[in-house]
Structure 1
Amino acid sequence: MIAAPLRSPTSPTEDKKLPYNLTGKGYGKDGVKLFHVTRDGAYHSVQEFDIKVHIKLSGNKEYTEGENSEIVDSDALRNIICVLGKKQGIEGPEKFALLVARKALEQYAHIVEVSLNVETYPWRRISQDKTKPDGSTTNYQHNHAFMFTSTAQRYCEVIVRRQDAKPTVISGFKGLRLLKTTKSTFLHFIEDEYTTTPQLHDRMLSTIAEGAWEYSDFENVDFTKDWESVTDTVVKTFGGDPIDGTVSTSTQRTSYLSIKQVLDDLPHVAVMSLTLPNRHYVHFDMKPFQKLVPGENNEIFIPLDKPYGIVYTQLSRKDLKSHY
């Protein structure tokens, strides 16, 4: 589940010759791989993207008549991405996606909509300690060596329509794996003849979080700073105080509090959604092995991949119309 764009989709195209309308169309290029290196002397920075770029044209004759004179070849869309990356540089996925979308609209007057999905690969600069002559150590960030770290994957979705005053910009993350070994309860839910889950006064809580948020205003936004702020909020809400933690009464409550804090902190975010699947860890049954390891088992667990519960939540500001 991701944050749904706030704007209405384009109206269906009526075909008077046929008993149905063309209510969905578009094409483009998926899996466009792009690796960009910024070289500032000996200090280099890298970004790697997996990009989907899709367009919609004003006409339909490539569908209804098999006439291709208005088709923009999808390789041209890929080439725009690469040329703009070289010419303009890349500040970040959201701004680069907006740049590409606006260029496509400028280049081809019969394109009415451009949408991009950009997934960012998590390269992080390698750091290491170096010992000084006096015996002290200092941590150095490497100038040109990087490590692939999959803590969470950043992505964005950008939709630019020719007739709209503002583009739609959605930022998000996925694959954020979180776990805590206590301070999670699950109590007072319905119990009937179908219930097998016991009332849980203390359990392990684990999830692989995915979140997305849509901007009402983004002209002066630092997208990278916002992305770090949102993911940090989700992590801190999940874990709570580093010493005492915080009790989660349900995954639903944890999800709600996370999004509420994001909207409190970032007034230029209009709507956010968060998906938290429950990745279960169950106690291994030690009863057959009491002679070897007597007593209760609260140390050995078996991870269960499937099936799993899933909770999704979306909060939207009540005054959304005022943003447009």
Structure 2
Amino acid sequence: MPWTSANRIYAKPSNTSGGETRNAVQASPSPTAAADSGGRFVLSDHGYGKGAVKLLHVHRDGDFHSIREFEVFTDLKLTSESAYVSGDNKEIVATDSQKNTIYLLAKKYGIKTPEEFGAAVVSHFLYMYKQVAEARCKVLEYPWERLQAGTPHNHAFLFAPTATRWCEVSQKRHEAVSVKSGLSGLRVLKTTQSAFMDFVQDEYTTLADAAERIFSTIVEAEWTYESARNADFDNAWLTVKDAILDKFAGPPDTGVYSPSVQHTLYQAEKVVLEKVPEIQWIKMTMPNKHYLNIDLSKFPANVTKGDPRHHIYQPIDKPAGLIYAQLRRRVRSQL
């Protein structure tokens, strides 16, 4: 169908007096699943978008260059169900157009933080297309850091996957933007200063108390903001990462004692809320990545005898315990 088709809705700003579509949509109500099925069914949720749009942003300031690489996902919810119920596509903003929008907005505005770029994307779709009731954008950032060659290199970078940064930004028409940020894939391990004791012992228990064990986990964290308008997104993400590492590891010479994964998780979340007042709540997940003692008692002493400083463990990924908690600011009474 050619671009000049009378059935097509053109991308004119919808929130201004000039925002009417070039070809007005019929005033008759759009078909719905409820009407189509005689009230038997409702289309309780629907939407569509473009997934995994990859983007490298290079900022060149003379000889000094900076990079950020992203993977962007969009999702639009329309006010109409007609594309599903009657096969009428005239209100659909094609997913290929959504991909192009990501590239064009990045070119026009640059990308300061994933959160701010996500907010620009959702705002664009709500502004340009009056048939969009809600827009969502998820942004994953690839972990690049500047190469250190004695001094910071001007234009060379090292892929350093310590953790992955992500955010989910959404906005409904006539409502404020909502931002959720996150951290994933932060895998950590310490060889001492960890225990798990005094838990329930009954007829179902075979696990023995462990006064000394290896503690390893892959941390996932997500958090939201009281107001995205005043948030320092970069500082918040770095504070969360540093809080996790500090409460997991402790000082480099002495470490910090962990009586349980639950306790370490809570301590990290508490530090985040204390240091970043704009964060409303934070949730962390810490699955156990076990490294178990290997029973060598069945082998003769002349086989197992060796340097007492050598300790061998067996990695066991599955099954694994899964520990999580969400720490939220308590709502203060208005009285």
TM-score by length of 1: 0.88
Paired AA for residue 305 in structure 1: D
Equivalent residues in 2 for 1:113-262, closer than 5 Å: 113-129=134-150, 140-164=151-175, 166-262=176-272
- Answer whether contact 1:283 1:298 (CA < 8 A) is retained: no
Matches within 5 A, 1:1-324: 15-16=34-35, 17-129=38-150, 140-164=151-175, 166-287=176-297, 288-294=299-305, 299-319=311-331
Higher relative contact order (CA 8 A, sep 6+): 1
Deviates more, 1:190-199 or 1:146-155: 190-199
Instruction: Answer whether contact 1:174 1:209 (CA < 8 A) is retained.
Output: yes
User: How many percent identity over aligned positions?
Assistant: 40
AA in 1 matched with 2:259: T
CA distance in 2: counterparts of 1:74 and 1:278, whole angstroms: 39
Q: Supply the distance in 2 between the matched residues of 1:29 and 1:42 (Cα, whole angstroms).
A: 35
Q: Distance in 2 between matches of 1:19 and 1:321?
A: 45
Match of 2:3 in 1: none
Work out the CA distance in 2 between the residues paired with 1:98 and 1:321. 31
Distance 1:298 1:273 in 2: 37
Per-residue deviation, 1:65: 1.6
Using the TM superposition, give the Cα deviation of residue 294 of structure 1 relative to its aligned residue in structure 2, in angstroms. 2.7
Amino acid at match of 2:315: P
Q: Secondary structure at the match of 1:228?
A: helix
Cα displacement (A) at 1:220: 2.9
Name the CA distance, whole Å, in 2 between partners of 1:289 and 1:206: 31
Q: Which amino acid aligns with 1:40?
A: D
CA offset digits 1:173-222 (Å, max 9, x no partner) = 10101111111111111112221211111111000101011011222322
Tell me the number of residue pairs that the alignment of Structure 1 and Structure 2 aligns. Answer: 299
Q: 2:110 & 2:300 partners in 1: Cα distance? A: 62
Aligned-partner SS, 2:247: helix
Displacement of 1:298: 6.3
Structure 2: stretches of 5+ with no match in the other structure:
1-31
Deviations 1:83-130 (A, max 9, x none): 01111111111100101110111111110111111110001110022x
**Structure 1 spans left out of the alignment, 5+ residues:** 1-12, 130-139
Higher Rg? 2
User: RMSD value over aligned CA atoms?
Assistant: 1.8
Using the TM superposition, give the Cα deviation of residue 256 of structure 1 relative to its aligned residue in structure 2, in angstroms: 1.1
Hey, what's the Cα distance between the residues in 2 that align with 1:250 and 1:299? 22
Distance verdict in 2 for CA 1:314–1:163, change over 3 Å: same
Amino acid corresponding to residue 147 of structure 1 in structure 2? L
Shift in Å at residue 290 of structure 1? 2.1
Compute the TM-score of the two structures, normalised by the length of structure 2: 0.85
Distance in 1 between residues matched to 2:240 and 2:333, nearest whole Å: 23
Amino acid corresponding to residue 168 of structure 2 in structure 1:
E
User: SS at 1:112's partner residue?
Assistant: strand
Kindly indicate whether the alpha-carbon contact (under 8 Å) linking 2:139 and 2:168 is maintained by their aligned counterparts in 1.
yes
In 1: Cα distance, 2:79 partner to 2:177 partner? 18
Q: Which residue matches 1:9?
A: none
1:95 corresponds to which letter in structure 2? E
Amino acid corresponding to residue 158 of structure 1 in structure 2:
V
Distance, in Å, in 2 between the alignment partners of 1:121 and 1:151 is 10
- Structure 1: which 4+ aligned runs deviate by more than 3 Å? 295-298
Larger CA deviation: 235-244 vs 101-110: 235-244
- One-letter amino acid matched to 1:70: E
Alpha carbons of 1:24 and 1:187: their partners in 2 closer, same or farther (altered >3 Å)?
same
State how far apart, in whole Å, the 1-side matches of 2:187 and 2:78 are. Answer: 40
SS at match of 2:34: coil
